[in-house]
Structure 1
Amino acid sequence: RQSVFLTIAVVSALTIAGATAGLVVGLRKSASNSATSESVCGSSHETYVINGSSILGKYSRAAVAVDSAECSRIGRVILEKNGTTMDAALAAAICDGVMNAHSMGIGGGCVITIYSKKNNTAYSIIGREKAPRAANSTMFVGRENMSVAGGLAIGVPGELRTYEKAYKLFGGGVTWKELFEPTIKLCRDGFRISESQGAAIKQTTRVILNDPALRQLFVKNSTTNELYGAGDIMRRPKLALTLDIIANQGAEAFYTGNLSDTIVKEIQDRGGIITKQDLEEFNVDFQEALSIDINNTYTAYTTHAPTSGPILTFILNILQGFQIDQSDFKASNPSALFYHRLIEAFKFAYAKRSEIGDPYKINITELIRNLTSKDYADDIRSRIHDNTTFGYQYYGGTWEDRIKTGTAHLSVVGLDGDAVALTSTVNLYFGSKVLGPVTDIIYNDQMDDFSTPNTINSFGVPASPANFIVPGKRPVSSMAPLVVIEKQNQRIQQVLGASGGTRITTSIAQV
């Protein structure tokens, strides 16, 4: 499988400071007290390496951190047009679905944590893909490869329903159509392929050359079979038409309207089992976010299961009891003890992660109660020994936890005082490798995020029943977008998330 490229997008509010592996743009206060554009962070995530430094930009009004420079600018422009923080985040995400189409897009799903300054609370919005009605737990037994490529790998996409829900609740400073217009223009006029998308195209060469639809999109010279690469200009006129329909008719065009028949046909023509009823019945989970008190100074908010928000909460609760000082993890003088404790906390947390599933399909009430309990974290902390490690059984790992890659993240702090952390994915690079020949949508392979019975990993650990396929069920995810607020003055302290598969949750915890 493809290499894991780990990126973390962070907006930290001191003035408003943006540190990210992607490009950060923001708004500063001018002499006339109006919002003025400022773009000083030009590093893009595709040149980021794990041992490299992120770029730090300081802004006094707002900041947008996205994997793509162009998408960050689009988010900023929406803010300048009096768009809400959510408006800016959605416009940037729509763009990123084109600029980083190997990682996310309208054929996938996303999760959002939003802090509302007006309500002084945060909300969890989960639009993770669902298993189709015709799916069953044994559908990939003996044919695991079909869960990663082809129509059967496709879960019911949730991206646009999530955008719709988020826009209705927290958007509206600009029209729905205005969210799409900049990206439609990019698709028609052309955009420069990023290093990361270029690398993903190269890595997927064999599949692209053997698939007519993918060939048409990604092969630059049909005579020589030369593929588009980083720096090349690509146009996607078919996707522009699809986005234009959605811009004018809303998300309903995708789920019940003009596009739905075409979408179902594109999926079923490649062996998929998604029906119009699956699209029509898709719903988004919306509720107040999970919250955790940090040292009586901050409140951190994240998303509910089946994301890894509860796992992130568990890790943070364990670590709090160690009374960690900043000097423990300074790069110039790292503390071996700190990292030992951190890794041990990760081990206990990921053992519990294998028990998580969709709370609407299995009963995980007690599990979530434990994962968010300080008393339970205290008990686990007492099992961490400063001079010892143990075999995996000690940490409670009972089931296999599949290693995944992919995903994109963006963070926005807006002029209205809201904060949005949005993580989106089509799962593996270019999802199911199914490209709609009419819509130009790249469909996800999210069915591979479920566990399959009668399989074991290299340690002899069986797959987790909590994550077996059930019709209408969402698979477990490592995504855990986080917003941190100062308790005393409700000031935004951090807005962050990450990409990189199962490394997402632990990376966020380290930040």
Structure 2
Amino acid sequence: MGVPGEIAGLHEAWQQYGRLPWKSLFQPAIKLAKDGFVVAPYLALSIAESTKILNDPGLQKVFAPSNKLLKAGDVCYNADVRKAGGIIKMEDLKNYKVRVTDAVAVDAMGYTIHGMPSPSSGTLGMSLVMNIFKRWSQLRDHGTSHLCIVDGERNAVSMTTTVNYGFGAGLLSPLTGIVINNEMGDFSAPTEISDDQLPPAPANFIEPNKRPLSSMTPIIVTKGNQLAGVLGGSGGLYIIPAIVQVFLNHFVLGMEPLHAVLSPRVYHELIPNVVKYENWTLLCGDHIELADQRKDFLRERGHELNAHAGGAIVQLVVQSLQNPIKRKTNVGDNTVIHGMLTAVSDLRKDGRPAAA
């Protein structure tokens, strides 16, 4: 497992910008841990499909009490956990250093995208795609969990958090009941050579005190120094192409936020040389499938297509910059626009928080 740094990062943000007492911020999470929460349909599906739960006593206690997997509507809580082992020590957590860096800023289609620097590859990936689109005149002719927050003062947060695979390493940590991540799998290894995968990258080989390459793409979008939107997603390698497509759908092609998120997507992992297109029925009963016209468009250009019942999950908040209310801030003479906010939670994950 990799040394978890999320709490350290949140604490650093709280020290700089927080207003509420640190202790009080944990009360909702403590209540959920003690009293439990109702299993949502998406989480129930993940539990049913997982092969890890019944193989670990800690996971089994939480997600399969009495040796029966929890189903939608059941109450999930952590009544008991067992020591799972591992080499992480309290010293490792105490020595974790938060790196506060400036966001990478990319100009794209009249907007500025603010995102994470390396080892996150999402911002770089979006920049590459946008530079390609600048030279493609047909764009306008043809038209892991993540949360987005915008507050009343138009402060914005785009945060992706992950344990890598579903249920992480398939173990619960000692004493805490936290699912142990398997982030070490995001590193490259010299022996990982395969005909159907990209070759291992020496820059991403395992070293102490090093963060692995990530597909995380938490993005804040501005226009004229005003907030235009916040987006990000979950779904491993599918995150970057999903975020690019949602960004183009709304900010470039003018789709309404809900349509921008729900619009069928395509994915390409470079190796194998196949275009995956969405074709799946969601838990709510809606069906998402790429239009035949777009499939034909891709085939005519020599692409091999495969239907894919899955994809990234995208969260989106946008602010209308038309006819807004303008308010002075307490810092200098800056004016902050307060336009209408619209938030969309991807129906691919049932349109609500669902864990997993």
TM over 0.5: yes
Deviation at 1:273, TM superposition (A): 2.5
**2:324 — aligned with what?**
none
Deviation at 1:171, TM superposition (A): 2.1
Cα distance change on mapping 1:458 and 1:314 into 2, 3 Å: same
2:183 to 434, 446, 466: 446
Question: Counterparts of 1:337-486 in structure 2 under 5 Å?
Answer: 407-459=144-196, 462-486=199-223
CA shift digits 1:442-480 (9 cap, x unpaired): 110000111111221224753111111011111000001
Confirm or deny: 8 A CA contact 1:422 1:497 kept in the other structure: yes
Cα distance change on mapping 1:209 and 1:414 into 2, 3 Å: same
**1:169 — aligned with what?**
16
Q: Secondary structure of 2:220's match?
A: strand
1:281 equivalenced with 2:132 (yes/no): no
Q: Secondary structure of 1:288's match?
A: coil
Paired residues, what number?
245
Taking the aligned partners of 2:96 and 2:160, their CA distance within structure 1 comes to 19
Confirm or deny: 8 A CA contact 1:421 1:481 kept in the other structure: yes
Q: Which runs of 5+ in 2 are unaligned?
A: 247-356
Cα distance change on mapping 1:200 and 1:459 into 2, 3 Å: closer
Q: Secondary structure of 1:227's match?
A: coil
Identical-residue share of aligned pairs (%): 38
Deviation at 1:311, TM superposition (A): 2.0
Cα distance change on mapping 1:207 and 1:287 into 2, 3 Å: closer
Question: Counterparts of 1:92-103 in structure 2 under 5 Å?
Answer: none
Deviation at 1:237, TM superposition (A): 5.2
2:125 to 289, 300, 311: 311
**2:36 — aligned with what?**
190
Question: Counterparts of 1:231-242 in structure 2 under 5 Å?
Answer: 231-236=73-78
Confirm or deny: 8 A CA contact 2:61 2:78 kept in the other structure: no
Deviation at 1:425, TM superposition (A): 0.2
Q: In the alignment, residue 62 of structure 2 is paired with which amino acid?
A: L
**1:42 — aligned with what?**
none
**1:491 — aligned with what?**
226
**2:52 — aligned with what?**
207
Cα distance change on mapping 1:212 and 1:460 into 2, 3 Å: closer
Q: CA RMSD in A?
A: 2.2
Taking the aligned partners of 2:112 and 2:211, their CA distance within structure 1 comes to 27
Question: Counterparts of 1:37-116 in structure 2 under 5 Å?
Answer: none
Confirm or deny: 8 A CA contact 2:218 2:232 kept in the other structure: yes
Of Structure 1 and Structure 2, the greater helix share is in 1
**2:320 — aligned with what?**
none
1:300 equivalenced with 2:113 (yes/no): yes
Cα distance change on mapping 1:459 and 1:213 into 2, 3 Å: closer
Confirm or deny: 8 A CA contact 2:164 2:183 kept in the other structure: yes
Taking the aligned partners of 2:5 and 2:215, their CA distance within structure 1 comes to 17
Taking the aligned partners of 1:416 and 1:460, their CA distance within structure 2 comes to 45
Moved more, 477-486 or 448-457: 448-457
Taking the aligned partners of 2:215 and 2:197, their CA distance within structure 1 comes to 22
Deviation at 1:491, TM superposition (A): 2.5
Runs of 4 or more off by more than 6 Å in structure 1?
none
Deviation at 1:327, TM superposition (A): 5.0
Q: In the alignment, residue 480 of structure 1 is paired with which amino acid?
A: T
**2:345 — aligned with what?**
none
Q: In the alignment, residue 312 of structure 1 is paired with which amino acid?
A: M
Q: Secondary structure of 2:228's match?
A: strand
Taking the aligned partners of 2:232 and 2:147, their CA distance within structure 1 comes to 7
Taking the aligned partners of 1:218 and 1:459, their CA distance within structure 2 comes to 34
TM-score (norm 1): 0.45
Cα distance change on mapping 1:219 and 1:182 into 2, 3 Å: same
Confirm or deny: 8 A CA contact 1:483 1:495 kept in the other structure: yes
Cα distance change on mapping 1:316 and 1:461 into 2, 3 Å: closer
2:135 to 310, 317, 321: 321
Deviation at 1:423, TM superposition (A): 0.5
Deviation at 1:277, TM superposition (A): 3.1
Taking the aligned partners of 1:507 and 1:492, their CA distance within structure 2 comes to 21
Taking the aligned partners of 1:323 and 1:176, their CA distance within structure 2 comes to 51
Taking the aligned partners of 2:62 and 2:92, their CA distance within structure 1 comes to 28
Deviation at 1:177, TM superposition (A): 2.2
Cα distance change on mapping 1:461 and 1:492 into 2, 3 Å: closer
Confirm or deny: 8 A CA contact 1:421 1:496 kept in the other structure: yes
Deviation at 1:189, TM superposition (A): 2.4
Q: In the alignment, residue 183 of structure 2 is paired with which amino acid?
A: Q
**2:68 — aligned with what?**
226
Q: Which has the higher contact order (CA 8 A, sep 6+)?
A: 1
Q: Secondary structure of 2:231's match?
A: strand
CA shift digits 1:295-353 (9 cap, x unpaired): 4x321111000001222222222223335655523xxxxxxxxxxxxxxxxxxxxxxxx
1:509 equivalenced with 2:244 (yes/no): yes
Deviation at 1:202, TM superposition (A): 1.2
